[in-house]
Amino acid sequence: MNDSLEGKTRVEDLLPSDWQAVPPDSTRLPEGCCVVICDASFKEGVAGISVSIRVNGNEYDPVEYYAKSKGPVHAELKAIEKALTRLKGLASSRSLHSLIVYSDCKYACNFLESRWTPKRGYIRDTVAAIATCLCELDNGDMEFTLCHTRTKHIGRCDRRAKRKREVELSKRKERVVERINHVETMIVRGREVIVSEYNGRYYAMPKSNGFPQGVS
């Protein structure tokens, strides 16, 4: 499988001038043209991702995802991968002749447009995964255009991605607290128990009230 996007991207000047940096409204899209808007919010290894898809005059409800990430650029690439994976699952994807993806991360665009060569393995892997998604979407003549946009033009996705990130960070903190509480409970219980060996077998015995029930 070719893990490069070379030959799949089209220059932005093929688009209407006002589309090159601002996603068009769904009502302006001709039949078979799809716009994907995606954004990621990264913190402490957690990426909150939001994806919005506009196609054939309709806009699907935004969907949020969680992904582990190595950094903010990796998170933005994962957002594009998640968006394309979602698009593959939609029936409307089978009739596309053009796809426009908007991202507010210029670094991610540079990697995908082969302006930069990724050195880190996780970046290479995600770029390859995106190329695979495009190959699975492509019927042979689909035009793919990647547009860099400003965050203010995709504010809805940006806000939803941040909320998703905070929800996941909160869940992670709750899991950490639960583990700490469990360990502390076991430590306290351990202080009340004496472990003794008899004939090669070990017994846990409370420090008071003799042997536990069933042990003699």
Residue 209 is predicted with a pLDDT of 58
Residue 11 is predicted with a pLDDT of 47
Residue 101 is predicted with a pLDDT of 96
The CATH topology of domain 12-173 is Nucleotidyltransferase; domain 5 (3.30.420)
Residue 154 is predicted with a pLDDT of 96
The model's pTM is: 0.78
Q: Where are the domains of the chain?
A: 12-173
Residue 197 is predicted with a pLDDT of 76
Note down pLDDT in tens along the chain; length 216 residues.
Answer: 345 565 555 545 568 888 988 999 999 999 989 999 999 999 999 999 999 999 988 899 999 999 999 999 999 999 999 999 999 998 878 788 899 999 999 999 999 999 999 999 999 999 999 999 998 887 657 889 999 999 999 999 999 999 999 999 998 877 777 787 777 777 777 777 777 777 778 777 776 655 545 444
C-beta separation of 14 from 143 below 8 A: yes
SS (H, E, C) 152-196: HHHHHHHHHHHHHHHHHHHHHHHHHHHHHHHHHHHHHHHHCEEEE
Query: CA-to-CA distance for 8 and 99, rounded, in angstroms?
Result: 10
Query: CA-to-CA distance for 4 and 124, rounded, in angstroms?
Result: 10
C-beta separation of 104 from 154 below 8 A: yes
Rounded to the nearest 10 degrees, how much is the dihedral formed by the CA atoms of 7, 158, 32, 26? -150
What is the DSSP annotation of the chain?
-----TTTB--GGGS-GGGSSSPPPGGGPPTTEEEEEEEEEEETTEEEEEEEEEETTEEPPPEEEEEE-SSHHHHHHHHHHHHHHHHHTSGGGGG-SEEEEEES-HHHHHHHTTSS---SHHHHHHHHHHHHHHHHH--S--EEEEEE--GGGGHHHHHHHHHHHHHHHHHHHHHHHHHHHHHHHHHHHHHTEEEEEETTEEEEEESSSSSPTT--
Residue 12 is predicted with a pLDDT of 54
